[in-house]
């Protein structure tokens, strides 16, 4: 099937590579010339496990190509998948649809033959219908259906999630469009008998996406609040989450407490859903509480680290492990780590940071440019610990749990750990001379 994907970011690129692996002919389009130049030169523009191999394989197989020429890509396509960003509006926090509108408008002018235009970008309810109307006005002769095709992949697991989705949701009541979507995913469904395409109307497709993300964010916020309570009562939130999650009705996913949820999706999607609800006169009080509580939490987390600075420390140095918003990605957009880092830097001019992240250092360094003279990016965790007073773990990179705490202690000036991802072993940390604080457990009595 001839497929055009508009937007080669964290969604568009793995989706393009995945569809090429399924045997489709895919052209990935981006308006960013630099990105397309890099992709055409065989350079991967973002980090995702397994992506580089797939891109390489299908550039050679001829199933995958990259271009800035949207008209040419769209005019050959049976299906055009739009995967451009929908960032939060800086003032209202509603989803900013300018990139979607621009991509859809240009697409409308170059469609040839019946085409499905599938909106994979996360968009507020009613957007697909409004986009279809706008496209018809621009090109009344064009034959097409606009379908809501929300994406549920996680960054860091994008390739895995493409091939093993829990579900595929397609919002359309057009039988012709349903047949195209079924054809697109046929090779994937043939290999995963448990996966289903759920056909719903467009409004439901759009709402499923926001409701799912908001529910997951709410679940994380809930366990974070329970973690706060555990810190006051002597319970250990890890045991509490374990005990809760064994109930199948609750489930053990998304019950890991931390410094707050982040990333390019949960913060923006909760804000956008809350905006849509307010516009419709509906009170989504749980979503409002989740996003406001999460924002306050990150500020408190910075305070938690700063509370470890000793009164006589003149030029405190904090070793920071992790800047990405989660493990497995180089993405620092709306990263709790970045918010905490900024809060810390603003709290005291004399404070310096030594930062290590295995994949996201370049992105972090670009975002932290205003503070460049107070930050050293380090080659590994031990380099970061050298002469530091406090070690703060901000991202849940698996390798941080293997840190040799005795070696780290030997390198540090003072010995404090703020483990905001519960990655380290309290006992080993204390045996190595550290004062150790983490999330949702003050007792240290886990045996």
Chain centroid offset of residue 383 CA: 28
CA dihedral 138, 139, 142, 144 (to 10 degrees): 0
Please calculate the CA angle 291-14-287 and round it to the nearest 5 degrees: 10
Contacts of 1 (CB under 8 A, 6+ apart): 24, 25, 78, 79, 180, 183, 184
**Residue 213 binds: one of ligand UGA, ligand NAD, none (C-beta under 5 to 8 A by kind):** ligand UGA
**What x-and-dash track marks residues 384-403 binding ligand UGA by CB under 6 A?**
------------x-------
CB of 224 to ligand NAD, least distance (A): 21
User: Does residue 265 carry a catalytic annotation?
Assistant: yes
Which is it for strands 25-29 and 64-67: parallel, antiparallel or unpaired? parallel
Tokens of 58: 């299908």
Does 160 engage in binding with ligand UGA (CB under 6 A)? no
| Cα 314 from Cα 139, distance rounded (Å) | 67
Which does residue 171 touch among ligand UGA, ligand NAD, none (CB within 5 to 8 A, set by kind)? none
Dist CA 413 CA 370 (whole Å): 27
Residue placing its CB nearer to ligand NAD in the complex, 210 or 397: 210
- Where b means 16+ CB within 10 Å and e means fewer, 230-239 reads bbeeebbbbe
Binding partner of 340, given ligand NAD, ligand UGA, none, CB within 5-8 angstroms per partner class? none
Cβ of residue 85: shortest distance to ligand NAD, in angstroms? 4
Closest distance of CB 394 from ligand UGA, Å:
10
Contact 28, 102 (CB under 8 A): no
- Identity of the residue, 30 or 231, whose beta carbon is nearer to ligand NAD in the bound complex: 30
Which CB, 113 or 251, lies closer to ligand UGA? 251
Q: Which two tokens stand for residue 215?
A: 């529910």
Burial call 198-228: b when 16+ CB within 10 Å, e when fewer: ebbebebbbbbbbebbbebbbbbbbbbbbbb
What does 256 interact with, of ligand UGA, ligand NAD, none (CB < 5 to 8 A by kind)? ligand UGA
Ranges of beta strands (E only) in 120-237 are 144-148, 168-171, 197-200
- CB-nearer residue toward ligand UGA: 185 or 434: 185
Using rule CB under 6 A, residue 265 touches ligand UGA: yes
Q: Tell me whether residue 165 or residue 316 sits nearer to ligand UGA (CB atom).
A: 165
The entry of ligand NAD, ligand UGA, none that residue 35 binds, CB within 5 to 8 Å by partner kind = ligand NAD
User: Could you say whether residue 169 binds ligand UGA (CB under 6 A)?
Assistant: no
Note the residues at the interface with ligand NAD (CB under 6 A): 6-12, 29-32, 35, 70, 83-86, 99, 102-103, 121-122, 151, 153, 155, 264-265
Among 101, 136, 154, 160, binds ligand UGA (CB under 6 A): 154
In the block, residue with structure tokens 């306050």:
296
Beta-bridge mates of residue 419: 393
- Nearest approach in angstroms of CB 10 to ligand UGA is 8
Residue 290 in the binding site for ligand UGA (CB under 6 A): no
Single residue of 5, 111, 216, 385 touching ligand UGA by CB under 6 A: 216
Distance of alpha carbon 345 from alpha carbon 351, whole angstroms: 7
The residue from 128, 265, 332, 385 that is catalytic is 265
Residue 254 binding ligand UGA, by CB under 6 A: yes
Taking the CA atoms of residue 203, residue 206, residue 212 and residue 214 in that order, the dihedral angle to the nearest 10 degrees is -100
Binning the chain into helix, strand and coil, the percentages to the nearest 5 are 45, 15, 40
- Interaction residues for ligand UGA, span 32-91 (CB under 6 A): none
**Residue with the shortest CB distance to ligand UGA:** 265
Decide: is 357 part of the binding site for ligand UGA (CB under 6 A): no
Query: Whose CB is nearest to ligand NAD?
Result: 9
Q: Residue 266 interacts with ligand UGA (CB under 6 A)?
A: yes
Closest approach of ligand UGA to the CB of residue 331, in Å:
8
Q: Least Å distance between CB 287 and ligand NAD?
A: 16
CB of 272 or CB of 403, closer to ligand NAD = 272
> What's the min distance (Å) between Cβ of 289 and ligand NAD?
22
Quickly count: other Cβ atoms within 10 Å of residue 76's Cβ.
Answer: 16
Residue whose tokens read 């329970």: 226
Is the distance from CB of 28 to CB of 13 less than 8 angstroms?
Answer: yes
Torsions phi, psi for 115 (to 5 deg): -135, 140
In whole angstroms, the minimum distance from the beta carbon of 268 to ligand NAD comes to: 7
Q: CA-CA distance, 401 to 168, in Å (whole number)?
A: 35
Q: Which is nearer to ligand UGA, 255 or 437 (CB)?
A: 255
Closest CA to 329 of 198, 138, 159: 159
Where on the chain is the footprint of ligand UGA (CB under 6 A)?
122, 151-155, 213, 216, 220, 254-256, 258, 261-263, 265-266, 325-326, 336, 396
- Residues that are catalytic: 265
């Amino acid at each position: 099937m001839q497929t055009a994907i508009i937007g080669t970011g964290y969604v568009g690129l793995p989706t393009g590579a995945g569809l090429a692996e399924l045997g489709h002919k895919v052209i990935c389009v981006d308006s960013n010339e630099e990105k397309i130049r890099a992709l055409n030169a065989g350079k991967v523009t973002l980090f995702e496990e397994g992506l580089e191999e797939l891109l390489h394989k299908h550039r050679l197989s001829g199933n995958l190509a990259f271009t800035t020429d949207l008209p040419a890509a769209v005019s050959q396509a049976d299906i055009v998948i739009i995967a451009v960003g929908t960032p939060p509006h800086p003032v209202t926090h509603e989803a900013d649809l300018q990139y979607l509108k621009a991509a859809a408008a240009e697409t409308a002018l170059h469609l040839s033959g019946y085409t499905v235009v599938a909106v994979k970008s996360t968009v507020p309810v009613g957007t697909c219908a409004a986009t279809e109307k706008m496209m018809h006005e621009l090109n009344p002769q064009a034959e097409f259906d606009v379908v809501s095709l929300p994406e549920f992949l996680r960054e860091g697991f994008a390739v895995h999630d493409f091939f093993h989705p829990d579900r595929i949701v397609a919002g359309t009541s057009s039988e012709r469009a349903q047949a195209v979507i079924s054809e697109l995913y046929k090779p994937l469904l043939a290999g995963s008998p448990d996966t289903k395409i759920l056909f719903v109307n467009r409004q439901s497709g759009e709402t499923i996406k926001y409701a799912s993300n908001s529910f997951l964010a709410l679940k994380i916020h809930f366990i974070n609040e329970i973690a706060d309570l555990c810190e006051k009562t002597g319970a250990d939130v890890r045991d509490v989450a374990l005990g809760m999650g064994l109930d199948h009705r609750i489930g053990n996913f998304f019950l890991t407490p931390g410094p707050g949820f982040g990333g390019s999706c949960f913060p923006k999607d909760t804000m956008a859903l809350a905006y849509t609800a307010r516009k419709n006169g509906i009170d989504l009080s749980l979503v409002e509480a989740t996003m406001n509580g999460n924002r306050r939490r990150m500020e408190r987390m910075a305070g938690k680290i700063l509370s470890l600075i000793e009164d006589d420390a003149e030029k405190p140095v904090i070793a920071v492990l992790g800047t990405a918003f989660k493990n497995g990605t180089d993405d620092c957009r709306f990263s709790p780590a970045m918010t905490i880092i900024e809060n810390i830097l603003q709290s005291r001019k004399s404070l310096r940071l030594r930062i290590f992240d295995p994949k996201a250092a370049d992105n972090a360094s670009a975002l932290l440019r205003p503070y460049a003279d107070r930050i050293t990016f380090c080659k590994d965790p031990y380099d970061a610990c050298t002469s530091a007073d406090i070690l703060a773990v901000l991202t849940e990179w698996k390798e941080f749990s293997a840190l040799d705490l005795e070696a780290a202690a030997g390198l540090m000036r003072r010995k404090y750990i703020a483990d905001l991802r519960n990655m380290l072993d309290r006992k080993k940390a204390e045996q190595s001379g550290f004062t150790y604080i983490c999330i949702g457990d003050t007792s240290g009595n886990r045996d």
